[in-house]
Structure 1
Amino acid sequence: MTGRDEARVPFGARAIPYAAGTLRPSGDPAAADRRVLEHYRRWKAYFLRSGDEVGGPGRCAVLTPDAAHPFVAEAQGYGLVITALMAGADPDAHALFDGILRHVLAHPSVNHPDLHAAQQDAGGRDAGGRDSATDGDLDIAYGLLLADRQWGGGHGDYRALALRRIDAVMESEVHGGTRLTKLGDWSSGRYDEISRTSDWMPDHFRAFRAATGDPRWDEVLAAQLSLTGALRTRHAPVTGLLPDFVVDTTSGDPRPARGQVLESPHDGDYHWNACRDPWRLGADAVTSGDARTRAVARGFSRWARAATGGDPARIRSGYRLDGTGYGDPGSPAFFAPFAVAAMTDGGDDDEDGAGAQGWLDALWARMCGSPPDPARAYAAGVQLQSMLVVSHNYWVP
């Protein structure tokens, strides 16, 4: 085992290269690293809480002032992934990772001890049903795999914890028939036939397959990439956009939600969940080189570039699947993920290579010029992780 703060894959080293043909922002990579580090430091200052604020000494948690509860599973997953990736630049990254992990382990789901209760109140008490949210558990498991590669050993053995959590996700948060992700370990009845597209994280599923040897993760990957293609063809042939939620997943004809099925009347639109899809699918495209995720990510990017005339300031915070915008422009949760997709936009078959590079550079400049808002943890977390990918500082364990 290495020393506590010694990173095996240090931030800035780019030790694990991306797929051939992946674009990067123009200019000095070291300058890009400095912008990521600046954003990370602000993210830490605004959103990381520790000690008595989150249940006692040695614990940390990511605060979400914009969520229904101060501490949510999604944010803790983000925190684990971010701190593992920032090792080598932040000497406190390992301690922060372990602090967040202690918070997670102190709040098991009421339905499965190896999943995380999705919400805690300001006093650090479980709230909102004490059950899980799939996106949080996926990132928590993935963060543990990153930590095992980065530091080895650690709090309760990162790898053993990761394997238990991955198996729990398969048992309780993946549908046994469709192999699509469910909403959480609580999903039953009509909710058992709903899947959230932003939970479709191909790079995570590849990492889970490699770590466990379980071929069912190949089925999960195949099912979600197949449905991604079908949804784009049938419901968004012009834009390629995906909806927040897909319903009737066991019917043989899954489709975008019509109206509110879980969160809002926009559940069938490209809204505050699906806005992460260009990041999630794009991250897989640039790390795996898979032609399927590359095609989806490139489709996202080219539509957005055309729809905005190459101006990231025109990206709206919400779209119908036909491309009709309805939200205000300006949220990093919407424009930052398109930068990840834009990394796939070049190549020999690109009719406008200069335009693709210019689009990526414009998105990068927009991100660099948009510091975190201390009232908007969700957007800040999405933006920081998008910046990690775009600066070529992301990797798959």
Structure 2
Amino acid sequence: MIRWPFARTVAALLILALAGCDAVTVLRAPVSPGFYPHEAIRPSAGRAEMRDRLAAYYRDWQAAFVRPGCGDGTLRIHSPDAAYPAIAEAQGYGLVIAASMAALDAGARRLFDGILGFVLAHPSSNDADLMAAELDTGCVERDGGDSATDGDLDIAYALLLADRTWGSAGSYDYRALALRRIAAIKRSTVNRDSSLLLLGDWSTPGSPLYGTSRTSDWNPVYFRAFQAATGDPAWARIGAAHRAAADRLQRTFSPRTGLMPDFVRGTAADLAPVTGRVLETSHDGDFGFNACRTPWRLGLDALLSGDAVSTAAARRMTAWFRSVTGGDPARVGSGYTLAGTGYRAVGDNAFWAPLAVAAMADPDAQRWLDALWQRLAGTRVDPGNYFGDTLQLQVMIVVSGNYPLPA
């Protein structure tokens, strides 16, 4: 096994080469005076300070997690703490990050195209316009080579960002690729009965998990973007179904905490958290390592659209976390029942970092948001923590005011 110091050096050299010996060129582009259309608050820290801290974290994240593909000139995002070292989720995140950092990184398009090449080289075995979810160290598809919905959602949205940022006249037609993937997501990963997202293109009518959905995939910002890009009214229906589902879950199963479960099952009339282990752990019906992303996903929609359901959902979670931690992010646990009982030790940034996005939608959360930003700014990249650190980077992009606004 390659020891970390050597691996970090190799990754850093790769990034320098791709970016023309200047891995991150910070362009002092002005930030919008009111970061997002519907923000309630933003951190008290100065814009230049936040931008510089974001750029530093991004550099370290690249050095830790950007790797060569498999001898084909592509790049991939390494996921040492996932089931496999190359997963679709990680590639989707990498693409969104690269497109979001275009204003701060002169090499962002090289990074984007490198990851995109890897994505296109590994289609799902069920729907060739989606990506195989899991690949091993030799870039061989594992566990059937089928898809995971979360990865393809991020890939499709990142392609729309890329088209808006760079146009589609280069090596790849980003817009055409986005439209094909959006069509495939609708075709192969949307439940025909509930309009909720399926777990992947392997979940088909009649299969045991067909009625199961992962709440961390519920990103209303993406549904709005897909509708705008395609003109397909189905995406408005899909988006409305997910917002209604989030509202039902909070009001019915977590009215005090606002916490969302990792997985749910059912239709609009009987939607409920799953019980016991359905896909991953005995805590599949709790606020765990999937649902920890929901404050970020729903909070972002609140900031960009002002949607009443997303805003209320973000504020419910914010109010409870502020109360239970006494305003100290270091006291955020790494797993809770929907009633609010913690079941894992505190400290994982996959749980506390996403809370900063939700906090920006709450006018009463200024001290809480400032405390979260200070923790974000003071946390360093851990090369063994792909998941938490990649979530943190995306949160920092949003909270620092550098997330691309919708067209």
Shorter-normalised TM-score: what interval? over 0.9
Deviation at 1:24, TM superposition (A): 1.1
Q: Kindly provide the amino acid, as one letter, of the partner of residue 179 in structure 2.
A: L
| Aligned counterpart in structure 2 of residue 358 of structure 1, from 367, 371, 377 | 367
SS of alignment partner, residue 49 of structure 1: strand
Q: How far apart are the structure 1 equivalents of 2:383 and 2:251?
A: 39
* Aligned pairs (5 A) from 1:377-396: 377-395=386-404, 396=406
Q: Which residue of 2 aligns with 1:349?
A: none
Runs (4+) of structure 1 moved beyond 6 Å?
A: none
Q: How far apart are the structure 1 equivalents of 2:40 and 2:229?
A: 26
Does residue 301 (structure 1) correspond to residue 310 (structure 2)? The answer is no
Q: How far apart are the structure 1 equivalents of 2:213 and 2:124?
A: 20
| Aligned counterpart in structure 2 of residue 331 of structure 1, from 341, 344, 348 | 348
The answer to whether the 8 A contact 1:245-1:256 is kept is yes
Deviation at 1:126, TM superposition (A): 1.2
State the Cα RMSD in Å. 1.6
Q: Which residue of 2 aligns with 1:350?
A: none
* Aligned pairs (5 A) from 1:341-352: 341-346=358-363
Does residue 311 (structure 1) correspond to residue 328 (structure 2)? The answer is yes
SS of alignment partner, residue 354 of structure 2: helix
Aligned positions, number: 378
The answer to whether the 8 A contact 2:94-2:112 is kept is yes
Does residue 125 (structure 1) correspond to residue 140 (structure 2)? The answer is yes
Q: Which residue of 2 aligns with 1:369?
A: 378
Q: Deviations 1:10-49 (Å, cap 9, x if unpaired)?
A: 7854359412443111121111011111111111000000
Does residue 103 (structure 1) correspond to residue 112 (structure 2)? The answer is no
Q: How far apart are the structure 1 equivalents of 2:53 and 2:163?
A: 27
Q: Which residue of 2 aligns with 1:276?
A: 293
* Aligned pairs (5 A) from 1:1-397: 13-14=30-31, 17-50=35-68, 54-153=69-168, 154-188=170-204, 189-247=207-265, 249-250=266-267, 252-346=269-363, 353=364, 356-395=365-404, 396-397=406-407
Q: Kindly provide the amino acid, as one letter, of the partner of residue 196 in structure 2.
A: L
The answer to whether the 8 A contact 1:43-1:372 is kept is yes
Q: Kindly provide the amino acid, as one letter, of the partner of residue 122 in structure 2.
A: H
The answer to whether the 8 A contact 1:42-1:372 is kept is yes
Q: How far apart are the structure 2 equivalents of 1:326 and 1:309?
A: 18
Change (3 A) 1:11 1:317: farther
Q: Runs of 5+ in structure 2 lacking a partner?
A: 1-18, 21-26
The answer to whether the 8 A contact 1:109-1:132 is kept is yes
Change (3 A) 1:119 1:12: farther
Q: Which residue of 1 aligns with 2:7?
A: none
TM-score by length of 2: 0.90
Q: How far apart are the structure 1 equivalents of 2:394 and 2:268?
A: 35
Q: How far apart are the structure 1 equivalents of 2:133 and 2:79?
A: 12
Q: How far apart are the structure 2 equivalents of 1:124 and 1:148?
A: 27
Q: Deviations 1:251-275 (Å, cap 9, x if unpaired)?
A: 8311101100000000000000000
Q: How far apart are the structure 1 equivalents of 2:349 and 2:70?
A: 31
Q: How far apart are the structure 2 equivalents of 1:191 and 1:251?
A: 16
The answer to whether the 8 A contact 2:159-2:178 is kept is yes
Q: Kindly provide the amino acid, as one letter, of the partner of residue 393 in structure 1.
A: N
Q: How far apart are the structure 2 equivalents of 1:382 and 1:85?
A: 14
SS of alignment partner, residue 183 of structure 1: coil
Q: How far apart are the structure 2 equivalents of 1:373 and 1:388?
A: 18
The answer to whether the 8 A contact 1:318-1:325 is kept is yes
Worse-superposed segment, 173-182 or 194-203: 173-182
SS of alignment partner, residue 192 of structure 2: coil
Q: How far apart are the structure 2 equivalents of 1:13 and 1:126?
A: 43
SS of alignment partner, residue 322 of structure 1: coil
Deviation at 1:100, TM superposition (A): 0.2
Q: How far apart are the structure 1 equivalents of 2:259 and 2:276?
A: 17
The answer to whether the 8 A contact 2:38-2:305 is kept is no
SS of alignment partner, residue 67 of structure 2: strand
The answer to whether the 8 A contact 1:11-1:86 is kept is no
Q: How far apart are the structure 2 equivalents of 1:85 and 1:30?
A: 17
Q: Kindly provide the amino acid, as one letter, of the partner of residue 173 in structure 1.
A: T
Q: Kindly provide the amino acid, as one letter, of the partner of residue 219 in structure 1.
A: R
The answer to whether the 8 A contact 1:12-1:393 is kept is no
The answer to whether the 8 A contact 2:348-2:388 is kept is yes
Q: How far apart are the structure 2 equivalents of 1:57 and 1:180?
A: 37
Deviation at 1:369, TM superposition (A): 1.1
Q: Kindly provide the amino acid, as one letter, of the partner of residue 319 in structure 1.
A: Y
The answer to whether the 8 A contact 2:148-2:201 is kept is yes
Q: How far apart are the structure 2 equivalents of 1:377 and 1:343?
A: 25
The answer to whether the 8 A contact 2:296-2:354 is kept is yes
Worse-superposed segment, 13-22 or 153-162: 13-22
